[in-house]
Structure 1
Amino acid sequence: MLNKLKETQKNPVFLDEVEDMDVDNMDFPLPDSTPGMPDMAQLQKMMQGMSSNFQPTPEPKNDHISVATGPQGVRRLSPDQYKDWVTVYPCYIDVDKSTQQGRKVAQKSSVKEPHAYHMAVAVQRLGFSVVYENKRHPKDWANVGRVRVQLKTNDKRCINPKIASRKQLYAAIAEIMPIVQKESSVPNTYASPLITLEEVDEQRKAQGLPALSDMQFNNPLAPGGGAPGGAPQTPPAKPKKQKIKYVRA
């Protein structure tokens, strides 16, 4: 009975699929073109006019420029020019890191407290061009900084035949890092997780700013702030309003 009902009625509830209607099976003649609609030539002209009026907005150019230092001196490069350089993080040669934490050289050849600044100096001594970036490794987020090293030329030739692979580069950096660490210290301009509160206060005083310790002492909301001994300061009492009596004459 349900099938008969489908055959006799055109209720859309019973239609499982929309039937495709072939216009060639219609009895009435088809018009040459739909009234009120432009032909293909007119449609193409309309599309060309729309495309000329609405040009796509050009993407902004990346003006970020990095400084690369090497045997050729100082060069200014865009990120596209050194995107294929080898990336080296401090954790690659950190003696306190395990292989799961990012160390890529043998522990006996690793370095204590490596910093990207010293790594950049070591790379220059090895005869490579280097770019310092303020990036961090996801497994070593506290140690900020990494270096990008040009291991090969643009035509894929090794700059230093004795250092032709990434592992050889990591080992060479770790080998001369202790010498670099003794001869130079990390400038205060570089972000370092090892900087102490005293060094921060010295930098602030040199800039004419109050020390962080003084700011904490004078802040009553900070722990131990306010009065000496950590006692919270008592807010001053509000002045009482004086009552004025009016006497009738």
Structure 2
Amino acid sequence: MAHLTENPADKERFICVYPVYINSKKTLAEGRRIPAVKAVENPSCTEIRDVLTAAGVNVLVENKMHPREWNRDVQFKGRVRVQLKQADGSLCHNKFSSRKDVMLYVSEMIPKLKSRTQKGGGSESSSQQSDGGKKAKKKKK
């Protein structure tokens, strides 16, 4: 992880990326900021950090929560600060000119991570079980 060499107040110029911004399981009202078809299922801060660090971007991970995130689990905690511009206002990387560029890049790269390709979608089976539980309750009268 890159460290700031200049004034610590410079981190205020870094943009914030919360996992909820690129989470396909969230609605726009819950904080998602990119189209659901391009979003990733339950991304974590470490995945966002890993992808951006591999791309050579200056990142900081902070232990903060998104204001609309009701789930206080550890997997939903965290915020990644990303440096888009230098102190003089010039871009750090040509491929990232905006916050949206960063979010779309991260959502495209997270599914390619080794941690994602090795494990199957474990969260899908748990959501199916909860649906089955609801149906069973309706049948009991």
Task: Please state which band the TM-score falls in when normalised by the shorter chain.
Answer: 0.7 to 0.9
1:182 and 2:111 are equivalent in the alignment = no
Query: Which residue number in structure 1 is paired with residue 87 of structure 2?
Result: 154
Paired-residue identity, %: 30
Q: CA deviation at 1:82?
A: 0.5
Q: Decide which structure has the larger Cα Rg and report it.
A: 1
- Offset of residue 175 of structure 1: 0.6
CA offsets, 1:36-70, max 9 Å, x none?
xxxxxxxxxxxxxxxxxxxxxxxxxxxxxxxxx24
1:168 equivalent in alignment to 2:97: no
* Deviation of 1:81 (Å): 2.2
Please state how far the C-alpha of 1:163 moved relative to its aligned partner: 1.4
- Aligned pair partner of 1:104 in 11, 33, 39: 33
Provide the residue aligned with 1:145 in structure 2.
78
Q: Deviations over 1:13-51 (max 9, x none)?
A: xxxxxxxxxxxxxxxxxxxxxxxxxxxxxxxxxxxxxxx
| 2:43 counterpart residue number | 114
Q: Structure 2 counterpart of 1:113, which letter?
A: N
Matched residues in 2 for 1:123 and 1:141: separation? 26
The structure showing larger relative contact order (alpha-carbon pairs under 8 Å, at least 6 residues apart) is 2
Letter of the 1:154 counterpart: A
Write 1 or 2 for the structure with the bigger share of helix: 2
| Residues paired across the two proteins, number | 115
- Name the Cα RMSD after superposition: 2.4
What residue identity is the alignment partner of 2:36?
Answer: Q
- Listed as ranges, the gaps of 5+ residues in structure 1 are 1-68, 186-193, 195-249
TM-score with structure 1 length normalisation?
A: 0.43
Q: State the match for 1:23 in structure 2.
A: none
- Aligned-pair CA distance for 1:89: 0.2
The alpha-carbon deviation at position 126 of structure 1 amounts to 2.0
1:178-217 to 2 correspondences below 5 Å: 178-180=111-113, 181-182=115-116
TM-score by length of 2: 0.73
Cα distance in structure 2, aligned partners of 1:128 and 1:140: 26
The answer for unaligned runs of 5 or more in structure 2 is 124-141
Q: List structure 1 segments (4+ residues) > 6 angstroms apart after TM superposition.
A: none
Partner Cα distance (1:135, 1:99) in 2? 20
